[in-house]
């Protein structure tokens, strides 16, 4: 029965049960929950499938299988079942990301079939804040305007390349990435400090639910690092996020990025979980 329930592709009739499971851990599940709340569970709208582990009415775990493979509340049996399904389907994702225990178990089963990853980030602290930042916010950090897309885009590409290790222009020439950057600007979730046409600091709020939102794409111009822009800029983003989007603000960061972790702690973030990412 477990094998049968684990292999079930969920649909919109499962939406309320799925959301109840996602909302049990709004910080860890903010990305998947934001997708489900926005478009539902129909694979065509979701941009992938949602797999469920457990029978209808008693779901215990989920796995979003789209551009990313993201386990949700997946214990050892569920993680194994999701990995087996992913192996049979063949790799369609650019990464596996989520709670470290589940991702590690999935990767142990998938690596012999999928081959070596481009990079494995074994430990990525998940951090959250629900109170006013501990430091003053940069008053010059604001929403990016649509006409500033061409100014912001090079900073976004630089951030992505620095963080992920490859350019977002790889594959489709960057068309999907540019579309996403433009969309975040359009819906008011792209923030930056821009001076004389130069991006000093920027970040986006990439996922939003009623319970939490997730900051992504934090970047400071390399020529201006070490001057406090990251701390003040993050404080501004947190203030905007708490005022406009959700009562909890979260992000995750590589454990080896000591400078970024220090910035986030100074702002008032605390570590609440650990993610792991496998990048292809």
What's the whole-number average pLDDT of the chain?
95
Q: What is the pLDDT of residue 1?
A: 35
What is the DSSP secondary structure assignment for residue 115, as one 8-state letter?
-
Q: What is the pLDDT of residue 56?
A: 81
Q: What is the pLDDT of residue 220?
A: 97
Percent of the chain topping pLDDT 70: 98
Q: What is the pLDDT of residue 3?
A: 44
pLDDT digit string (tens) for 127-182?
999 999 999 999 999 999 999 999 999 999 999 999 888 899 887 888 999 999 99
Q: What is the pLDDT of residue 6?
A: 53
Residues 91 and 234: beta-carbon distance below 8 Å: no
Least confident of 54-63, 88-97, 153-162: 54-63
190-227: string of b/e by CB count within 10 Å (b at 16+)?
Answer: bbbbbeeeebbbbbbbbbbbebbbbbbbbbbbeebeee
Residue 74: pLDDT over 70? yes
pLDDT digit string (tens) for 221-254?
999 999 999 999 999 999 999 999 999 999 999 9
Q: What is the pLDDT of residue 2?
A: 39
pLDDT digit string (tens) for 24-54?
999 999 999 999 999 999 999 999 999 999 8
pTM here? 0.92
pLDDT digit string (tens) for 179-201?
999 999 999 999 999 999 999 99
Q: What is the pLDDT of residue 76?
A: 95
């Amino acid at each position: 029965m477990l094998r049968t329930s684990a292999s079930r592709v969920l649909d919109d009739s499962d939406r309320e049960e799925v959301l109840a499971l996602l909302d049990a851990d709004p910080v860890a599940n903010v990305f998947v929950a934001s997708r489900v709340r926005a478009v539902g569970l129909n694979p065509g709208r979701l941009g992938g499938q949602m797999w469920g582990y457990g029978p209808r009415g008693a779901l215990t775990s989920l796995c979003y299988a789209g551009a990313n493979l993201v386990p949700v509340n997946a214990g050892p049996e569920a993680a194994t079942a999701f990995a087996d399904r992913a192996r049979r389907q063949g790799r369609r994702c650019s990464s596996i990301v989520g709670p470290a225990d589940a991702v590690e178990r999935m990767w142990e089963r998938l690596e012999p079939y999928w081959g070596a990853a481009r990079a494995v980030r074994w430990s990525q602290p998940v951090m959250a804040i629900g109170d006013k930042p501990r430091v003053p916010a940069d008053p010059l950090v604001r929403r990016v305007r649509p006409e500033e897309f061409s100014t912001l885009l090079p900073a976004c590409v630089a951030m992505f390349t620095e963080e992920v290790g490859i350019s977002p222009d790889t594959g489709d020439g960057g068309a999907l990435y540019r579309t996403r950057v433009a969309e975040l600007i359009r819906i008011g979730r792209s923030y930056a400090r821009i001076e004389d046409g130069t991006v000093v600091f920027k970040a986006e709020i990439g996922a939003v639910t009623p319970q939490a939102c997730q900051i992504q794409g934090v970047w400071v111009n390399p020529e201006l690092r070490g001057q406090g822009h990251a701390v003040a800029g993050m404080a501004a983003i947190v203030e905007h996020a708490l005022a406009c989007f959700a009562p909890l603000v979260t992000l995750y960061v590589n454990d080896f990025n000591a400078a970024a972790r220090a910035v986030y702690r100074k702002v008032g973030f605390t570590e609440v979980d650990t993610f792991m990412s496998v990048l292809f």
